[in-house]
Amino acid sequence: MTKSVAVTGMGILSSIGRNVEENHSALVQGKHGLSNPEILDTNHRNLPIGEIKSSNNDLAEMLNLDKNHVFTRAALLGTLALKEAVKASGINDFTNIGFVNGTSVGGMDMTERFYRDYEKDGTNLRFIQAQHPGFTTEQIANYFGIDAYVTTISTACSSAANAIMMGARLIRSGRLDKVIVGGTDCLSRFTLNGFNSLKIYSEDFPKPFDKDRQGLNLGEAAAYLVLESAASVQNKEILGYVSGYGNANDAFHQTASSENGEGAYLAMQKALKTANLNPHHIEYINAHGTATLNNDLSESRALIRTFKEMPAFSSTKSFTGHTLAAAGAIEAVFSLLAIKNQEIYPNLNFESQIEDSKLEPVTQLKTANIEHVLSNSFGFGGNCTSLIFSKNG
């Protein structure tokens, strides 16, 4: 397990941009992508979401799909983001390339839309089958002709981060030399209703790490990285390296983090150990930062346990909303952008510290010397994952 894992391409589609350049521009300008629902069919018109303002038909046209396609919205978003990533990496031949995809919503938006029709007369079976997360992965893989190694990871909000970790392990172990990793999730009535029923959804824009935070806003997005064994990379720009990773479980509650952030703490410790780094080597933390009462306090305590002196940190979910399974991938892109451009992106809407932790995130765009970025993704069921991206291998 000694091979360096290089990132040679990345692609992203989110509520703040249709590609890497647009997302970076929004981060620099401090422009969030949260608004009232327009595409999602929901009764909760008052709840802000990070919505991509294109219908499924619009997205399908971008991919030249015929009208009888069976792509879920998550698959449509994922395919568009993956196209950007492979183009940036210069990939034309998908032979012997792995694909590890993270998703939790999968085709849920399709099954909730067509279930009653199927229940009534058996129509729209092709969309009922879309419920399984693996269905979305297969649609993306089939579009590109990827078949050497294809798998799906669904570990709630750490799904894409775990996909990146698995891809890095496949390369470091010598099993594959090239793996496309990331995740995609779309908005659905089920997830919006679900988080709202848990009383952790904010009717205002989110305020990560603020003492007056009221809850999260959901978003939809897709992002992918092309990982390659550094030894095999020739004549390509290397955007950074996946130098560390770790996951652990809180083993505490189905939908809440433990009070002292045990799972988060263990995941960060494992990531630092894998990267052979000490806490003081980390210059920036892209925090999980959901803006919920439970998560932000729990993560703050885990950060304090890990770092004697806190590095600069922020939650970019204040831009995109919480994109569930895709969060780890879009924040991986943001972490690599931070390294490439030597800048730290702001934590929007922050006003005052949580009294228990006294931590204060970066609130304005900031330039800094950045060699290593820690990115946290913590999910329901205690699924905690931390990744470290580095400038050099």
Helix (H/G/I), strand (E/B), else coil: 31: coil
Cβ atoms 389, 373 nearer than 8 A: yes
Q: Among residues 24, 32, 186, 322, which one is catalytic? A: 322
32, 157, 186, 384: the active-site residue: 157
d(CA 92, CA 146): 11
Residue 29 neighbours by CB distance under 10 Å? 9
Over the Cα atoms of the chain, what is R_g? 19
Q: Is 32 a catalytic residue?
A: no
Contact, 105 vs 72, CB < 8 A?
Answer: no
3-class SS of residue 176: coil
User: Could you confirm whether 186 is annotated as catalytic?
Assistant: no
User: From CA 130, how far away is CA 107, in angstroms rounded?
Assistant: 5
Q: Is 157 part of the annotated catalytic residue set?
A: yes
How far apart are the C-alpha atoms of 53 and 40, rounded to whole Å? 10
What's phi and psi for 237, nearest 5 deg?
Answer: -75, 130
- How many Å apart are CA 279 and CA 377, to the nearest integer? 18
Residue type, 260: N
247 forms bridges with which residues in the sheet? 385
What are the two backbone dihedrals, phi and then psi, of residue 175, each rounded to the nearest 5 degrees? -70, -40
Q: Catalytic: which of 24, 32, 186, 288?
A: 288
Hey, which residues are catalytic here?
157, 288, 322
